Amino acid sequence: MKIPRELVSVLKKEKVFLLATHLNPDGDAIGSALALANALASMGKEVHVYNKDLVPEFYRFMPGNERFRTNLKKSLSKNPVLVLLDCNSPERAGLEQYSFRKSVVIDHHETEKNFGDIRWVVPSAAATGLMVFYLVKAMGLRVARDMAMNLYTAIAVDTGTFRYSNTSPEVLRASAELIEAGADPAAISECLYERWEKNRFDLLLMTLRNLEIKSDVAVMHITKNMFKKTVTKPEDTENFSNLPRMIKSVKIAALFRDMGNGFWKVSLRSKGDVNVAKIAELYGGGGHMNAAGFRTRGSLKSAKEKLLLAVKKSGRG
């Protein structure tokens, strides 16, 4: 993987960094940020790690997750270099109202923005964590155990634990190196998939009960009332949108999550060569070929109709 020389140069030259990632961070975002934070700290840099949202409880097994802060006051006073990870616009990180003297983007999403003085965007990369793995090596640093745990988690999450089509020989070779460096696949897998709270499972059951299939599109929804009944949070819905893909006839799975005030967040997942990023782009969203999303306003019925219209426009259904 070719790494921009200017990226390595700025990371070695600058002294203070603010690492930030997208709202509602997932395992790839969290693992990438924490691993790069460790790498920079090992070089004597001052590193601040930010996300507007708290780290979801089921990702708090990741070493160093307590480094994340939801307040920018201290970091901004140091005039840091901004490094965006796993997203490529300040809006996605809730930073659109701030300006930085220098900005860096490290991302693998298919939908790009023009933000960043230095941009390293590789849509073909399976995970941002994979990119950070190569970046750490390019800087001549040792991948310590905590970094290995976080990077392995990042790659595992974005490859569906090596089940998705982005699981390449490169992914497996890098993951093997991370295991040699101290990552524990069994422990990580257990933390990701086998430590659910009962109320999260209850929310999943309620969600599956409203599953609808129209042609090869599976649709589910979660309302504010469902969260209230199960005492759960939006973060508890992670991976829900993947489940209908288990149905043989389903090519696209969509999860509608009630955000309040008439807004819905739509998470899309697909199989094979069905590009849901192109569908999401029709409504101002984006993502990867097989995992994308957008936001829309209106009734649940109209939101579903909007999705099915977008699917038709894309040539599906």
The mean pLDDT value for 108-114 works out to 80
More confident residue, 183 or 24: 183
- What contacts 44, CB < 8 A, 6 or more positions away? none
The answer to whether residues 178 and 286 belong to one domain is no
* Pair (125, 235) in one structural domain: no
Closest-CA residue to 292 (of 220, 217, 242): 242
Containing domain of residue 163, as a range? 5-193
What is the average per-residue pLDDT within 175-188? Answer: 98
The tokens describing 242, both together, are 């993947």
- Give the pLDDT of residue 313: 77
Same domain? For 222 and 274 the reply is: yes
Average pLDDT over the chain, rounded to an integer: 94
Same domain, yes or no: 218 and 306: yes
* Sequence-distant (≥ 6) Cβ neighbours of residue 223 within 8 angstroms: 258, 300
Task: Find all residues with CB under 8 Å of 7, minimum gap 6, and list them.
Answer: 104, 106, 118, 120, 135
Residues 252 and 182 in one domain: no
Indicate whether 86 and 104 sit together in one domain: yes
Q: Within this chain, do residues 127 and 66 fall inside the same structural domain, yes or no?
A: yes
pLDDT confidence of residue 110: 77
In this structure, are 24 and 160 located in the same domain? yes
Q: What is the mean pLDDT of residues 64-68?
A: 97
End-to-end CA distance of the chain: 37
Using one digit for the tens of pLDDT, what is the confidence trace for 201-254? 999 999 999 999 998 999 999 999 999 999 999 999 999 999 999 999 999 999
The string of pLDDT tens digits covering residues 41-63 is: 999 999 999 999 999 999 999 99
Whole-Å CA distances, 207 to 220, 254, 262, 301: 6, 12, 19, 16
Judgement on whether residues 12 and 80 belong to the same structural domain of the protein:
yes
CA-wise closest residue to 283 among 272, 299, 294: 294
Number of domains in the chain: 2
251-274 pLDDT, tens digit per residue, is: 999 999 999 999 999 999 999 889
Average pLDDT over residues 135-156: 97
- For residues 54 and 112, membership in a common domain is answered with yes
What pLDDT is recorded for position 317? 45
Give Cβ neighbours of residue 283 (< 8 Å, ≥ 6 apart). Answer: 294, 295, 296, 306, 310
